[in-house]
A and B are shown apart, each in its own frame.
Chain A
Amino acid sequence: MIGIVSYGTYIPKFRIKVEEIARIWNEDANAIKQNLGVFEKAVPDVDEDTATMAVEAGREAISRVRIRPEKIGAVFVGSESHPYAVKPTATIVGEALGIGNYYFSADLEFACKAATAGIQICYAMVKAGMIEYGLSIGSDVAQARPGDALEYTAGAGAVAILVGKDPIAEIEATVSYTSDTPDFWRRDLQPYPSHGGRFTGSPAYFRHIVSAAKKLMEDFGYSAKDFDFAVFHQPNAKFPQRVASMLGFNEEKIADGMLVKVVGNTYSASSLLGLCGILDKAMPDQRILLVSFGSGAGSDAFAIRVTEKILDYPRNRRVWDKVKNCVYIDYALYLKHRRMIK
């Protein structure tokens, strides 16, 4: 049985409210909150970035289980905001986590689904007997051009998923759906991403998530009622709510994973942060549907069954408790924290 043996999360403590961003651009905050279902987003400290948050999430994942770091045979970091264009974030993370030198490693890029791709690679490597444990981390300081609609949701956070045998949550099945869809992109050397605006909804997000989820259910004989929880990529709160109802899940089944409302879209960490919110309360034999989405575009769907081992697993501090502890900042400090002004 292979699956998640531990998980760790990191959410920076600073927040900016939708009202504060709307104030700068003279926009209607209530209409934006209504449209997006997002109220505030997480902002990193001046000395935090994708690598530092990845390390913090990784440290929590390792500290929750009695596994020596040297037993981790692979480290993958999925991100849209690696600190270096050339020099893998995973090398910095592996060093800080004390994993040693003999490990497989790579940075992964597939917009917001890079870290679920990392989980699939770790799963395959464990199954093949190449490694005992593999660590996949999604970490992002989401970039948005000041004044762009994305600025209201582009958040920051990291999640580390340790994959191995004897898990707290078994990965029963996984399926991916990929196509060449230009919904969101960033050319080399450009500081901010571009997007297809309204185009990003139907052919990208909804088509990929629904196709991956349906294929998973068809191939492995599940239906929506077999899942106690569901979590989907969260670019805002409305998209996952809509895709949930398209697939036959009510609000209750996605509520525990809806962290986007208070931390924004954490890109590579987004659907995984939701998964951790659910794992924080899930009981043995409950089943979770996880479907990520990465622009470009692709979705990875997973059927995850919680095992008895979760009962002895230390889940504090829980993700929803972590988000409560925060410090609100204004737009000027936000620009400083994002290193847009020095």
Chain B
Amino acid sequence: MVPRIWRRIRYRYNVIASYCESCGSYYYPQREICPKCRRRGIVKEVEINDEGTVLSYTVVNGRKIALIEFKNGTRMLAEVCGDIEIGSRVKKAFRRYGEDGEAGIIYYGTKFVPII
């Protein structure tokens, strides 16, 4: 469990998407190859720090999971803490995801909170 989590830390702590320099498309989760440009696409990692908009959301086991869209068109599914409705503006927040029991690793990552 620990090694798999460790490799992903960077991608949990911040929102990192793929950007194709050839056609300007953004992808989340990340892709190594741009599906539009195939081999001609030059794909790079970009961090997204913008505010997002809630397109829709659902409640799973008491947690709000929302589809969030950013200015550049990237969409992602993420947990939102706090009261939201469709169209709410949200920003990223650093939160606990969970822990491996009392003695185990604590998992941290990105969730979203409404902008006041």
Asked if A pairs with B, the answer is yes
Which A residues form the contact surface with B (CB < 8 A)?
Answer: 13, 45, 47-49, 51-52, 55-56, 59, 83-84, 92, 95-96, 98, 325
- The answer to whether B10 and A95 touch across the interface, beta carbons within 8 angstroms, is yes
User: Is the CB–CB distance between B108 and A51 below 8 Å?
Assistant: yes
Partner among B9, B10, B81, B94 whose Cβ is within 8 Å of the Cβ of A56? B94
What sequence of 0s and 1s flags, for each residue 68-97 of chain B, a beta carbon within 8 Å of any chain A beta carbon?
A: 000000000000011000000000011111
* Chain A residue at smallest Cβ distance from B98: A47
**Given A52-B96, A84-B106, A47-B111 contact (CB < 8 Å):** yes
Q: Are B96 and A47 in contact (CB under 8 A)?
A: yes
Q: How far is the CA of A6 from the CA of B108 in the complex (A)?
A: 25
- Per the bound structure, the CA–CA distance linking A48 and B116 in Å amounts to 19
- A13-B82, A48-B96, A49-B106 known; 7 new pairs, CB 8 Å cut-off, are A47-B95, A49-B96, A52-B93, A56-B94, A83-B106, A96-B94, A98-B14
Q: Which of B9, B96, B106, B116 contacts A95 (CB 8 A)?
A: B9
What residues of A have a CB within 8 angstroms of the CB of B10 in the complex? 95
Query: Is B57 on the interface with A (CB-CB < 8 A)?
Result: no
List B residues 5-60 near A (Cβ within 8 Å): 9-10, 13-14, 47
Q: Do B14 and A96 touch across chains, with their CB atoms under 8 A apart?
A: yes
Instruction: Give the residue of A13, A84, A96 whose beta carbon is less than 8 angstroms from that of B13.
Output: A96
Pick 17 A–B contacts, CB within 8 A, sort by A: A47-B95, A47-B97, A48-B96, A49-B96, A51-B106, A51-B108, A52-B95, A52-B96, A52-B108, A56-B94, A59-B94, A83-B106, A84-B106, A95-B13, A96-B13, A96-B108, A325-B116
User: How distant is the Cα of A59 from the Cα of B108 in the complex, in angstroms?
Assistant: 15
The 6 closest A-B pairs by CB, nearest first: A55-B94, A47-B96, A47-B95, A96-B13, A52-B94, A325-B116
In angstroms, Cα B47 to Cα A52, docked, is 19
Interface of B is mostly: strand
* Docked CA distance A47–B14 (Å): 17
Q: Pick from A56, A92, A95, A98: contact of B93, CB below 8 A.
A: A56
Interface size class of chain B, counting residues whose CB lies under 8 Å from the partner chain: 10 to 19
Bound CA span A47–B106, Å: 11
Tell me the smallest distance from the CB of B18 to a CB of chain A, in Å.
Answer: 17
Residues of A within 8 A of B95 (CB): 45, 47-48, 52
Residues of A within 8 A of B108 (CB): 51-52, 92, 96
Q: How far is the CB of B97 from chain A (nearest CB, A)?
A: 8
Least CB distance from B9 to A in Å reads 6
* Chain B residues, CB < 8 A from A95: 9-10, 13
CB distance from B98 to the nearest CB of A (A): 8
A59 to B13, CA, bound (A): 12
When distances are taken between beta carbons in the complex, the residues of chain B under 8 Å from A52 are: 93-96, 108
Q: B109: nearest residue on chain A (CB-CB)? A: A96
Q: Which residues of A contact B47 (CB under 8 A)?
A: 98
B27 to chain A, nearest CB (A): 21
Which B residues lie within 8 Å of A51 (CB)? 94, 106, 108
- In whole angstroms, how far apart are the Cα atoms of A83 and B97 in the complex? 14
Q: Which residues of A contact B14 (CB under 8 A)?
A: 96, 98
Q: Chain B residues near A49 (CB, 8 Å)?
A: 96, 106
Q: What A residues does B82 contact at CB under 8 A?
A: 13
Shortest distance between the CB of B108 and any CB in chain A (Å): 6
Residues of A near B111 (CB, < 8 A) are: 47
A96–B107 alpha-carbon span in the complex (Å): 12
A88 to nearest B CB, angstroms? 13
Complex CA gap A92/B106 in Å reads: 11
Residues of A contacting B94 in the complex (Cβ-Cβ under 8 angstroms): 51-52, 55-56, 59, 96
Question: How many Å lie between the Cα of A38 and that of B21 in the bound state?
Answer: 55
In the docked arrangement, what's the CA distance between A81 and B62, Å? 27
A135 to chain B, nearest CB (A): 15
- Closest CB in chain A relative to B45 CB, distance in Å: 12
**Shortest Cβ distance from residue A296 to the other chain B in the assembled complex, whole angstroms:** 27
